[in-house]
Amino acid sequence: MATLTYRDALNQALREEMQRDPNVFLMGEEVGVYQGAYKVSRGLLEEFGPMRVVDTPIAELGFAGVGVGAAMAGLRPVIEFMTWNFAVLALDQIVNSAAKLLYESGGQVPIPIVFRGPNGAALQLAAQHSQAWDAWLSHIPGLKVVAPATPADAKGLLKAAIRDNNPVLVLEGEMLYNVKGEVPDGEHVVPIGQADLKRPGRDVTLVCHSKTVAVALKAAEQLAGREGVSAEVLDLRSLRPLDEAAIVASVAHTNRAVVVEEGWPHAGIGAQVVDVIQREAFDHLDAPVLRVTQADVPMPYNKQLERLAKPSPDRVVAAVRRVLYLD
Amino acid sequence: MATATVRTASTSALSELERRMLRQMLLIRRFEEKAAEAYALGKIGGFCHLYIGQEAVAVGSLAALRDDDYVISSYREHGQALARGIAPNAVMAELFGKATGCSKGKGGSMHLFDAAKRFLGGHGIVGGHIPLAAGIGFAIRYKGGDQVCICYFGEAAVNIGAFHEALNMASVYKLPVIFCCENNRYGMGTAFERVAAVTDVVEHACSYDMAAELVNGMDVLAVYEATRRAADRARKGGHPTLLEVRTYRYMGHSMSDPLHGVYRTKEEVEEQRKRDPISQLALKLREGGVLDQAGLDALDAEVREEAEQAVRFADQSPDPDPAELLTHVLAD
């Protein structure tokens, strides 16, 4: 096992898959000469050349569409968005082209493409650069959506995404790129659609993904120390398909759940998870399921306000106390 | 004598090409007339955008391309699908939403596909498929092939950002794409000059350092020749071309829209019909002694029967199995 940053784990996945399959190429703003806005593509231009590491104009709709077209003609593009905030300009290509061409062609035109980039809030970037698109993007049939929280999952899920014959959206965490972790050596592919138990527990399930995994783990530690509460942390990893069996199994075991996500509360990922729990684990529940989300406001610039807007370990602890009827 | 023989040979090849193109245009015309009837009878649902009047564009351009070239179009694509050689039965069955349709009844009029013929849709969002064409061109270049991709869209798509982003990238990356703008003068009910600051579409090529040509879309041979020149440029140097093909649609924007009224006059439509691409070519072939009236009538009877047969086929074909609802959402 090597210890890598999340950034280098993604870089390794890209390099290995490009070495493995000559049809895989990377395209996006600043991915080549500049080595990536977040340095995920460092060294790839030198190794693979400008036909396979392609710098684009700032034209998200255009280069997303170029990627889909290339996939229609047999390539396996990896399209990098500098951030998912800018990908909103490309939604027509993601939703109307990538997600639908297989279906509306009666199965004739598969679109093996990866769209990836950082998602969610970083630090004091204000409203237009700080938003989590998880729920929007997970709404669309024809797409798969993954959101890795650790370097190992980042590498394994990106490799799985590149090998998948469908459009896969990889939501990376802008605040996670420097996080270090152990990454298995050799062939390491994480199957899409499998959640991962990041910490076992008895009293409550914390359902989370991407950046909120760290939030949930911190909350679990606080709960274990101060309150003597044993919290189980379930990392969804894939948002579509959702690992419903893992959610149900955990709640059947703990009888309580809190869902933590970076997105807004209305029609969020947590709402979907709560639907699964009430439908499939209703009789196991000892308390209503609660959610911890970003505040239902555009992200403020001010540091203190921003901190208040984001999910925090303290807010998770407070929610856990309520589902355990400790308050 | 030798020269005379060569001339005869090439004249006869040209006549053969023109006769073939006349037949294809007539087939499209009769097919679309039948589609209009079927729509009126409720056998075709949703939106249905007919190609009547524009036949020379699809036929002339596709006659100039190879079978291994790629074709992509907007939602007014029945003509290109037929000119590409997709069976009229499969196209009509798709309009009827039947299991035997070229997209298995799941796409309909706006989403005709035949991957084996490299006919990659049928796209419903104005301009949304223009970047896809650039991507197909990118894949051709990536693999080192000498194919081209032709992309059809209406003049109204020129006002959307996707057009400009795609043309810029096609030029920067030197992609073998022919951007074929079918300028039929109206985006639904809005005359182009009312909403476009630059009304000569070819002028946009200057912004992207791209070759461009203005083409008479009522002259099928002119479309054929312009497309050949564009394809040569693409195959040799990977250079894209913007063709502005001036044409005219006789029907409303879709079957649910009026032929004329608030946005254009009946007289204008009548005047345009005098330039009809099929009549013009038929006249030329008659005057050149290539095809007499009896020959023309026989050709017309043949394609009418083909169109009628397509309707019978579509009518008798089964609906997709209910289980098809859930297939093709994801690939294996």
Least confident of A147-151, B42-46, B256-260, B314-318: B256-260
Q: Output the pLDDT for position B4.
A: 46
Structure tokens at A77: 């593009």
> DSSP letter string over A244-293?
HHHHHHHHHHHS-EEEE-SS-STT-HHHHHHHHHHHHSGGG-SS--EEE-
Cβ neighbors of A216 (< 8 A, separation 6 or more) are: A198, A206, A208, A231, A233, A260, A316
Structure tokens at A8: 């280098």
Count the Cβ atoms, other than its own, within 10 Å of residue B55: 29
Dist CA A115 CA A327 (whole Å): 44
Q: What φ, ψ does residue B48 adopt, rounded to 5°?
A: -145, 105
Q: Considering CB atoms only, which of A57, A71, A103 is closest to B168? A: A57
Residues 6+ apart with CB under 8 A from A204: A229, A230, A231, A232, A254, A256, A257, A258, A320, A323, A324
User: Which candidate from B124, B139, B166 shows the least CB-CB separation from A75?
Assistant: B139
Please answer yes or no on whether B169 and A63 come within 8 Å at the CB atom. Answer: yes
Residue among B72, B161, B329 whose CB faces A103 most closely: B329
Per residue in B85-119, pLDDT (tens digit) is: 999 999 999 999 999 999 999 999 999 999 999 99
* Average pLDDT, integer, range B277-305: 96
Rounded to the nearest angstrom, the minimum Cα separation between A243 and chain B is 17
Task: Read off the pLDDT of residues B172-219 as tens digits, 9 standing for 90 and up.
Answer: 999 999 999 999 999 999 999 999 999 999 999 999 999 999 999 999
Per-residue confidence (pLDDT) for residue B10, from 0 to 100: 75
Please confirm whether the linkage preceding A241 is cis (ω < 30° from 0): yes
Residues B248, B189: Cα–Cα separation, whole Å = 13
Q: What average pLDDT score do residues B10-25 get?
A: 92
Cα–Cα distance measured from residue A174 to residue B138, given in angstroms and rounded to the nearest whole number? 30
Contact criterion met (CB < 8 Å) for A105 and B123: no
Distance in Å, alpha carbon of A71 to nearest chain B alpha carbon = 8
Assess whether pLDDT exceeds 70 at residue A170: yes
Task: Determine the pLDDT at residue B304.
Answer: 98
Q: What 3-state class would DSSP assign to A66?
A: helix
Q: Which ipTM did the prediction report?
A: 0.97
Two tokens, residue B104 = 């298995």
With CA atoms as reference, the chain B residue closest to A143 would be B330
pLDDT category at B5 given cuts 50, 70, 90 is very low
Contacts of A192 (CB under 8 A, 6+ apart): A144, A146, A157, A160, A161, A164, A168, A238, A241
Give me chain A's average pLDDT, please: 97
Distances (CA, A) of B173 to A53, A73, A197: 13, 17, 46
A56 burial via Cβ count (<10 Å: 0-12, 13-18, 19+): buried
Q: List the single best residue of A52, A53, A89, A101 to mutate versus B (max B Cβ within 10 A).
A: A101
pLDDT at B138: 98
B142-148: average pLDDT: 97
What value does the mean pLDDT take over residues A138-154? 98
Per the listing, tokens 């996670």 go with A176
- Taking only the tens place, the pLDDT of each residue in B240-290 is 999 999 999 999 999 888 888 899 999 999 999 999 999 999 999 999 999
Distance (Å, rounded) from C-alpha B249 to C-alpha B251? 6
Instruction: Give residue B237's pLDDT.
Output: 84
Tokens 């196991």 -> residue: A284
Report whether pLDDT(A138) > 60.
yes
Name the band, by pLDDT with cuts 50, 70 and 90, for residue A253.
Answer: very high
Best of A66, A88, A145 to disrupt the B interface (most B CBs within 10 Å) is A66
Q: Which two structure tokens, joined as six digits, stand for A10?
A: 């993604």
The answer to whether the Cβ–Cβ distance between A75 and B161 falls below 8 Å is no
Provide the pLDDT confidence category of residue B9 given band limits of 50, 70 and 90. Answer: low
Phi, psi of B181 (to 5 degrees): -85, 115
Q: How far apart are CA B290 and CA B134, in angstroms?
A: 40
Q: Is pLDDT at A100 greater than 70 in this prediction?
A: yes
Alpha-carbon gap, residue B89 to B95, rounded angstroms: 10
In angstroms, the CA B55 to CA B28 distance is: 7
This prediction's pTM: 0.96
Report percent pLDDT > 70 for chain A.
100
The single-letter DSSP state of residue B218 is T
Tokens of B70: 């790629």
